[in-house]
């Protein structure tokens, strides 16, 4: 059994699908996130903060959307930015900007048998011209490379094949296997 500490249902559902064969428990809680320039730093600090509060083994995930033309904004502030301005706000910021390139990064930080483990996944893509499809967060406005121009939102569960979280979680699954955890 391993606990996934998150308040985000979308993240948990993706983890449940991808970590096949793992006894995954949703530790549904919010935790304080430090301000930092990278998701990696946020993930490590959050992990250390949670160590005394959540039972080993557990993991958390920190992710963000980095838009090239906006110098990487919103990056580690993606959750805050989504809450404040949403997809519409990003589309507005991107009005008249031709360079739509962006990437998503996911960092998984785990604490297993007293050891810290870190894995990451990144997917490049572009910001769509409008919102398409469902999903959560910025799913309707992100088109991952290689998906024929469909957004995460339009891809449904096929998002896992392309997404930053899909990559990171599959790497994490391999780590769990190597540790003879599953
Ligand atoms: P955090 O990892 O909880 O700090 O939040 C990351 C934020 O980035 C989320 O609240 C979303 O707004 C955005 N985000 C991260 N991954 C995804 C994704 O797979 N789809 C859509 N939005 C995402």
pLDDT in tens, 73-97: 999 999 999 999 999 999 999 999 9
Find out whether the beta carbon of 81 lies less than 6 Å from any atom of ligand 1.
no
Residue 33 has pLDDT above 90, yes or no: no
Determine whether 99 is an active site residue.
no
Residue of 23, 37, 56, 62 with catalytic role: 62
Protein residue with least CA distance to atom 2, ligand 1: 62
Q: At 51, phi and psi to the nearest 5?
A: -50, -45
Torsion over CA: 39, 42, 44, 47 (sign): negative
Residue 182, pLDDT above cutoff 90: no
User: DSSP secondary-structure letter at 48?
Assistant: H
Q: Which two tokens stand for residue 35?
A: 């301000």
> Would you say the CB of residue 151 lies under 6 angstroms from ligand 1?
no
Ligand 1 neighbourhood includes 138 CB (under 6 angstroms):
yes
2-178: CATH topology is Maf protein (3.90.950)
Give me the residues paired with residue 2 across strands. Answer: 24
Ligand 1 centre and the CA of 178: distance in Å? 28
Q: Which are the contacts of 81, defined by CB distance < 8 A and separation ≥ 6?
A: 73, 74, 89, 90
The residue to which tokens 């989504």 are assigned: 82
Q: How much is the pTM?
A: 0.97
Atom of ligand 1 nearest to the CA of 11: 19
**Ligand 1 centroid distance, CA of 79 (Å):** 6
Q: Which two tokens stand for residue 130?
A: 């409008």
Q: Residue 155 above 90 pLDDT?
A: yes
């Amino acid at each position: 059994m391993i606990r996934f500490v998150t308040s985000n249902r979308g993240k948990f559902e993706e983890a449940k699908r991808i970590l096949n064969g793992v006894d995954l428990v949703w530790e549904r809680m919010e935790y304080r996130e430090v301000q930092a320039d990278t998701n990696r730093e946020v993930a490590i600090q959050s992990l250390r903060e949670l160590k005394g509060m959540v039972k080993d083994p557990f993991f958390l995930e920190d992710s963000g959307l980095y838009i090239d033309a906006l110098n990487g904004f919103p990056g580690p502030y993606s959750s805050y930015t989504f809450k404040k301005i949403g997809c519409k706000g990003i589309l507005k910021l991107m009005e008249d900007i031709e360079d739509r390139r962006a990437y998503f990064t996911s960092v998984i930080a785990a604490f297993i048998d007293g050891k810290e483990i870190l894995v990451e996944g990144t997917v490049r893509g572009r910001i769509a011209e409008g919102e398409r499809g469902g999903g959560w967060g910025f799913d309707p406005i992100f088109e991952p490379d290689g998906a024929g121009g469909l957004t995460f939102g339009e891809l449904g569960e096929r998002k896992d094949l392309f997404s930053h979280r899909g990559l990171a979680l599959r790497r994490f699954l391999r780590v769990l296997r190597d540790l003879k955890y599953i």
